């Protein structure tokens, strides 16, 4: 009679042997590290930020304001690597300190844009009904007007030097139009952010965990802050990254037209605006234009990498 073999015992993993899973954020960051263009973009941004930060420790700020008409429009040399402008100021120093202002305007304008767009998008998506229709119709009306046109009108109204005088901060003199432009750019570019947030909120608020949160007594504010807003983080981060490049370019457009940040505050845009009548002196406009190009390319490359990395299809 055949002997029946006893079943082998099931092998058990030891308590210290386990496979650690990865969160969506970890997988997204891993995808980002493999994205070649995103790494190139991050490298360009590190270079630009290091240039304007380290350069300010090497070249004092008064150098960017010192003028000597006797050395006006000198080409690049050992003494002035980027040349001099029409009144003899060192262009290298002005590009360094103008870059700080341009980056500040771009980042703070996007913060304003994100705050306004997120609040309106959450209100429209979560409340729905009449509030949603009213806010979205207003956003569509704003989108139908060119942003540059809105910015020009706002600057005409709010850039009077008698009402908005210059101010001093940490020993440096700044034009009040710098703050005006931050709010002008932020308040004329929130519409796309609001539409992105609204679409995410409309999807998230119907999920089971949001319904469960309401069932256990969570109020609307807690539900939005704890369960809805975290799901908006990834698209908001991508939108904010690309928005900085758009804000820097818009500031450069306004500066080139002579309606941007007023003197004595330098920016890449108003340096190019001053060089408008001296196009043959290539060094006058080339270096600020070069740094605008490097910054926008770096931000766009990094933004594309973030969009691909946080794409839900890439997390499978």
For residue 254, is it within any domain?
A: yes
Q: Look at residue 16 and tell me if it is in a domain.
A: no
Segments forming the whole domain that contains residue 223: 29-315
pLDDT score of 291 = 95
Pairs from 24-30 (Cβ < 8 Å, separation ≥ 24): 24/315, 27/314, 27/315, 28/234, 28/309, 28/310, 28/314, 28/315, 29/309
> Which of 69-78, 143-152, 158-167, 298-307 shows the lowest mean pLDDT across its residues?
158-167
Can you tell me the distance from the alpha carbon of 296 to that of 300, in angstroms, rounded to the nearest whole number?
6
Quote the pLDDT of residue 10: 46
Does the residue 203 lie in any domain? yes
C-alpha count within 13 angstroms, C-beta hemisphere, residue 143 = 13
Q: What per-residue confidence (pLDDT) applies to 25? A: 62
CA distance 147 to 187: 10
Separation of alpha carbons 120 and 114, rounded Å: 10
12 belongs to a structural domain: no
Q: Is residue 6 part of a domain?
A: no
**pLDDT beyond 80 at 313:** no
pLDDT at 89 over 80: yes
Whether the per-residue pLDDT at 99 is higher than 50: the answer is: yes
Q: CB burial class (10 A; 0-12, 13-18, 19+) of residue 11?
A: exposed
Percentage of the chain beyond pLDDT 90 is 32
Asked whether the predicted pLDDT for residue 68 surpasses 90, the reply is: no
Q: Average pLDDT, stretch 268-283?
A: 88
* Per-residue model confidence as pLDDT tens digits over 110-161: 999 999 999 999 999 888 889 999 999 999 988 888 888 888 887 777 777 6
Residue 24 is predicted with a pLDDT of 61
User: Residue 268 belongs to a domain with what CATH number?
Assistant: 1.10.3720.10
For 229-275, how does the pLDDT look when each residue is reduced to its tens digit (9 = 90+)? 887 887 888 888 888 988 988 888 888 887 778 777 888 988 988 88
What's residue 315's pLDDT?
46
5 domain-assigned: no
Instruction: Give the gyration radius of the chain's Cα atoms.
Output: 26
* Total domains, the chain: 1
**8-39 pLDDT per residue, tens:** 554 454 445 444 556 666 676 677 777 788 88
pLDDT at 21: 55
For helices 233-256 and 177-187, angle between their N-to-C axes, nearest 10 degrees: 130
CA–CA separation, 87 and 41 (whole Å): 35
CB 142 within 8 A of CB 217: no
Q: What's the pLDDT at 20?
A: 55
Q: How high is the mean pLDDT of the chain?
A: 83
Categorize the per-residue pLDDT at 293 as very low, low, confident or very high, splitting at 50, 70 and 90: very high
The DSSP-derived string for the chain is -PPPPPPPPPP---TT--PPP--HHHHHHHHHHT-HHHHHHHHHHHHHHHHHHHHHHHS-GGGGT---GGGTTPPP-SS-TT-B-TTS-BHHHHHHHHHHHHHHHHHHHHHHHHHHHHHHHHHHHHH-HHHHHHHHHHHHHHHTS-HHHHHHHHHHHH--TTTS--EEETTEEE-THHHHHHHHHHHTS-HHHHHHHHHHHHHHTTSHHHHHHHHTT--HHHHIIIIIGGGGHHHHHHHHHHHHHHHHHHHHHHHHTT-SSPTTS--HHHHHHHGGG-TTSHHHHHHHHHHHHHHHHHHHHHHHHHHHHT-GGGG-
Mark residue 209 as left, alpha or beta (left: phi above 0; alpha: psi -120 to 50; beta: remaining): alpha
pLDDT in tens, 174-195: 777 888 889 888 988 899 999 9
Write the CB contacts of 309 (distance below 8 Å, at least 6 apart in sequence): 28, 29, 31, 32, 35, 38
Residues 6+ apart with CB under 8 A from 125: 132, 197, 198, 199, 200, 201, 202, 205
In the predicted model, what is the mean pLDDT of residues 94-100?
A: 93
User: What CA–CA distance (Å, rounded) separates 117 from 137?
Assistant: 14
Query: What is the pTM for the complete model shown?
Result: 0.83
In a domain, 155, yes or no: yes
> Does the pLDDT at position 3 exceed 60?
no
**191-240 pLDDT, tens digit each:** 999 999 999 888 888 778 777 877 777 777 888 888 888 878 878 888 88
Residue 29 makes CB contacts below 8 A (sequence gap 6+) with: 309
Is 3 contained in some domain? Answer: no
């Amino acid at each position: 009679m055949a002997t029946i073999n006893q079943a082998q015992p099931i092998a058990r993993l030891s308590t210290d042997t386990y496979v650690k899973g990865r969160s969506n954020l970890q997988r997204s960051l891993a995808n980002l590290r493999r994205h070649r263009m995103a790494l190139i973009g991050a490298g360009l941004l590190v270079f630009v930020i290091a240039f304007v930060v380290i350069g300010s420790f090497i070249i004092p700020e008064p150098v960017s304001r010192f003028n000597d008409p006797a050395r006006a429009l000198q080409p690049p040399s050992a003494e002035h690597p980027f040349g001099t402008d029409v009144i003899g100021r060192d262009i290298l120093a002005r590009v360094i300190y103008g870059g700080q202002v341009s980056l500040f305007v771009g980042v703070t304008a996007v913060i304003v844009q994100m705050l306004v767009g997120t609040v309106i998008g959450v209100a429209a998506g979560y409340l729905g009904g009449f509030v949603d229709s009213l806010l979205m119709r207003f956003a569509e009306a704003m989108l139908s007007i060119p942003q540059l046109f809105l910015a020009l009108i706002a600057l005409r109204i709010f850039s009077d030097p008698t009402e908005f005088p210059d101010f001093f901060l940490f020993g440096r003199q700044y034009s009040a139009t710098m703050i005006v432009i931050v709010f002008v750019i932020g308040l004329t570019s929130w519409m796309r952010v609001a539409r992105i947030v609204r679409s995410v909120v409309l999807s998230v608020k119907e999920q089971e965990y949001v319904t469960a949160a309401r069932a256990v007594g969570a109020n609307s504010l807690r539900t939005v802050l704890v369960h809805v807003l975290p799901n908006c983080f990834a698209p908001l981060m991508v939108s904010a990254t690309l928005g900085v490049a758009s804000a820097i370019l818009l500031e450069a457009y306004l500066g080139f037209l002579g309606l941007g940040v007023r003197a004595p505050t330098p920016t890449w845009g108003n340096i190019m605006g001053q060089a408008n009548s001296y196009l043959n002196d290539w060094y006058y406009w080339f270096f600020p234009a070069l740094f605008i190009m490097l910054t926008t390319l770096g931000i766009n490359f990094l933004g594309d990498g973030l969009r691909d990395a946080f794409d839900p299809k890439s997390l499978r």
